[in-house]
Structure 1
Amino acid sequence: MDFLSSFLMRFLAQLQSPTLGFLIGGMVIAAVNSRLAIPDAIYKFVVFMLLIKVGLSGGIAIRGSNITEMLLPALFAVVTGIVIVFIGRYTLAKLPNVKVVDAIATAGLFGAVSGSTMAAALTLLEEQGIEYEAWAAALYPFMDIPALVTAIVLASVYVSKQKQRLKAEESLSKQESLSRQVVAAGDYPSKPEYPSTKQEYFGQQQNQAPQRVEIWPIIQESLQGSALSALLLGLALGLLTRPESVFESFYEPLFRGLLSILMLVMGMEATARLNELRKVAQWYAVYAFLAPLLHGFIAFGLGMIAHYATGFSLGGVVILAVIAASSSDISGPPTLRAGIPSANPSAYIGASTAVGTPVAIALAIPLFIGLAQALMGN
């Protein structure tokens, strides 16, 4: 009981943080139809500054740490990203009025990582005095890329099989029509040259291998995304150069102020996307509310295994859980647009921005930070 009450008190305290306050403020401003707008160029600059800072701090930390400490958390990040996509494939895709390719794209976006959500989690961890490995931010690509690759591969295989099935139906229909014409003319072939039943015909078609999906172009598209490029650039600079002076004098002091602007923009965007979400099945809203919490708990459980096995900090466990709870808001959408062109962007972007991101920031981050604090208290 003491554990639960302690957790609830810490959880409620998290909701009063400035980071979450700006998110909620942005949602309220958009809801009352305010004309306040943040130029897109400023938004992109803010995102770049935040991710380059996170990358720099991670690169500096990796330079002075034991790489083997990252192996198990990185493996769990990869596993989590892939598992998230399969969960969506066999849950959301099975619900009424939900198209399979749309569900796979949505799961891919929720398996990918939001750099802004991760930045918000890092800020709140620092505000609460919870220590974490600076290299934990480098887990980002280990979850992001496998999730996007898995989603695009699953969608490509599904679409390929559907095309084969449509061709099979058209071919069988033509053959049946031809057969009827031959019979009507009184010419009865001794041995049909086509399968006698649809089941037999489709069975033959399913034995054909689906079209091969090229993996490297998907990975390349992910790596070239603006968010991941900025993070990897920061990691490389922090690892290979000595940027401590500019990091401490410029990037570090600006971090929280820039993050507050980003949260304001994301809050406004979340409200604006609600109209898009209404255009698709309501199941997307249900999925977008529950998925961040489920994904986060899966990653939190794996993180605790790493905690007991290798000493991975509870702060690091929180970061792993938060990036699993997040859904990509920058690099993921364009990657999926190119990789799954048949999917409806209103479904996966609307679900992510309108519901998934606010849930991840306003609920998942305080939830997992409070859970970590309660565990540390014990």
Structure 2
Amino acid sequence: MEAALEFLTKFLTQFQSPTLAFLLGGIVIAALGSRLEIPEAVYKFIVFMLLMRVGLDGGMSIREANLADMLLPALFAMLIGCGIVLLGRYTLALLPSVRTEDGIATAGLFGAVSGSTLAAAIVVMESEGIEYEHWAPALYPFMDIPALVLAIVLASMYLKRKDGSVEKVRVWPIVKESLQGSALSALLLGIALGLLTRPEAIFEGFYDPLFRGLLSVLMLVMGMEAYARLAELRRVAHWYAVYAALAPLVHGLIAFALGYVAHVLVGFSPGGIVLLAVLAGSSSDISGPPTLRAGIPTANPSAYVGASTSIGTPVAIAIGLPLYIWLAQTLIVG
């Protein structure tokens, strides 16, 4: 009982943080019919700035890190990304009223990673003084790319069997499409610049000071988008709403358990475990949708984008993040 009250207190406290407050604020003003709009170009610029900051920080940290410490968390990130897709393929995709390719695409989007959710988690953790390996955000592509590739391969195999085709599925174009996505490109560019150059001055003078302010605007946009996407979600089977509410927490807890194994075996930090769980609990909101649209053109975007944006992302940020922080502080630190 005491543990439950402690979690509830921490959970309610999280809603006072600027990150969650702006997300909820966006939902509220959209529900009230506000005509506030953030131009698409501004939104893309903010995402680029945030992921460049995360990438630069990660690259500079990798330069100083023992790469052997990254191997097990990176392996777990790959397994988690693929495992989420397989779990969705044999649960959501088999449910009544769910088209198989729609279910696989949804699982692929939830297996991929949200750069904005990652940035939000970093701000919350830094504001609470939770330390983590600064190379941990570099686990993003290890989870994101395998999830998207596997989802597109599984959907393509299903559709070809359904049509009686024997044509092989080509994997490299899928990988290339993922790497060329705007979010992953920005993150990988930042990692490369942080690793191979000396960007400390521009990082400290430009990218780092703007990070929190830009993230607050992004959370506001995501809140408005989440409410707007509810209408799309109503057009598809209600199973998507159930999946979107449960999947972020189930995926995050699986990742938390594997992160704890890495903690025991190689000393992966509690903060690193939280970030791994956040990556797993998130669903791609930037690069994933266009990649899946190109790779699974017959899938209905209202199903997988609606489920991710309207329910999955708010659950991952508002419920998942406080839960993982509480678990890390209770089970590992405390």
TM range (shorter): over 0.9
CA distance in 1, matches of 2:270, 2:5: 20
Work out whether residues 118 and 279 of structure 2, in 8 Å CA contact, stay in contact via their aligned partners in 1.
Answer: yes
Give 1:1-80 correspondences, 5 Å limit.
1-80=1-80
CA distance in 2, matches of 1:210, 1:13: 55
What is the aligned partner in structure 1 of residue 255 from structure 2? 299
AA matched with 1:10: K
CA distance in 2, matches of 1:65, 1:210: 46
Q: Does 1:115 align with 2:103?
A: no
What is the aligned partner in structure 1 of residue 130 from structure 2? 130
Aligned residues: 334
Work out whether residues 8 and 370 of structure 1, in 8 Å CA contact, stay in contact via their aligned partners in 2.
Answer: no
CA distance in 2, matches of 1:6, 1:359: 20
Moved more, 229-238 or 85-94: 85-94
Gaps of 5+ in 2: none
Q: Does 1:214 align with 2:170?
A: yes
CA distance in 1, matches of 2:58, 2:288: 22
Work out whether residues 318 and 369 of structure 1, in 8 Å CA contact, stay in contact via their aligned partners in 2.
Answer: yes
Superposed CA deviations along residues 39-85 of structure 1, whole A, max 9, x for unmatched, are 11100000000000000000000000111100000000000000000
Fraction of identical pairs, as percent = 69
CA distance in 2, matches of 1:151, 1:363: 26
Work out whether residues 7 and 373 of structure 1, in 8 Å CA contact, stay in contact via their aligned partners in 2.
Answer: no
Work out whether residues 30 and 268 of structure 1, in 8 Å CA contact, stay in contact via their aligned partners in 2.
Answer: yes
CA distance in 2, matches of 1:221, 1:333: 11
Q: Does 1:98 align with 2:98?
A: yes
What is the aligned partner in structure 2 of residue 226 from structure 1? 182
AA matched with 1:247: F
Superposed CA deviations along residues 269-325 of structure 1, whole A, max 9, x for unmatched, are 000001110110011000000000000000000000000100000000000000100
CA distance in 1, matches of 2:261, 2:332: 15
Moved more, 367-376 or 73-82: 367-376
CA distance in 1, matches of 2:31, 2:79: 38
Please report the TM-score for the alignment, with normalisation by the length of structure 2. 0.98
Work out whether residues 111 and 148 of structure 1, in 8 Å CA contact, stay in contact via their aligned partners in 2.
Answer: yes
AA matched with 1:85: V
AA matched with 2:234: R
CA distance in 2, matches of 1:5, 1:32: 32
What is the aligned partner in structure 1 of residue 300 from structure 2? 344
CA distance in 1, matches of 2:230, 2:243: 14
What is the aligned partner in structure 1 of residue 156 from structure 2? 156
Please report the TM-score for the alignment, with normalisation by the length of structure 1. 0.87
Shift of 1:5: 3.5
CA distance in 2, matches of 1:134, 1:374: 22
CA distance in 2, matches of 1:20, 1:210: 49
What is the aligned partner in structure 2 of residue 246 from structure 1? 202
What is the aligned partner in structure 1 of residue 283 from structure 2? 327
What is the aligned partner in structure 2 of residue 180 from structure 1? none
Work out whether residues 160 and 167 of structure 2, in 8 Å CA contact, stay in contact via their aligned partners in 1.
Answer: yes
Work out whether residues 11 and 367 of structure 1, in 8 Å CA contact, stay in contact via their aligned partners in 2.
Answer: yes
CA distance in 2, matches of 1:237, 1:154: 35
What is the aligned partner in structure 1 of residue 321 from structure 2? 365
Give 1:156-305 correspondences, 5 Å limit.
156-164=156-164, 210-305=166-261
AA matched with 1:24: L
CA distance in 2, matches of 1:133, 1:70: 10
AA matched with 1:114: S
RMSD value, Cα: 1.0
CA distance in 1, matches of 2:319, 2:204: 31
What is the aligned partner in structure 2 of residue 189 from structure 1? none
Shift of 1:377: 4.5
Work out whether residues 55 and 234 of structure 1, in 8 Å CA contact, stay in contact via their aligned partners in 2.
Answer: yes
Work out whether residues 15 and 366 of structure 1, in 8 Å CA contact, stay in contact via their aligned partners in 2.
Answer: no
AA matched with 1:313: S
Shift of 1:2: 4.4
SS of residue in 2 equivalent to 1:211: coil
Superposed CA deviations along residues 179-225 of structure 1, whole A, max 9, x for unmatched, are xxxxxxxxxxxxxxxxxxxxxxxxxxxxxx84211111100000000
Work out whether residues 7 and 374 of structure 1, in 8 Å CA contact, stay in contact via their aligned partners in 2.
Answer: no
Work out whether residues 181 and 291 of structure 2, in 8 Å CA contact, stay in contact via their aligned partners in 1.
Answer: yes
SS of residue in 2 equivalent to 1:134: coil
Work out whether residues 104 and 155 of structure 2, in 8 Å CA contact, stay in contact via their aligned partners in 1.
Answer: yes
Work out whether residues 270 and 333 of structure 2, in 8 Å CA contact, stay in contact via their aligned partners in 1.
Answer: no
AA matched with 2:325: I
Work out whether residues 157 and 210 of structure 1, in 8 Å CA contact, stay in contact via their aligned partners in 2.
Answer: no
AA matched with 1:151: A
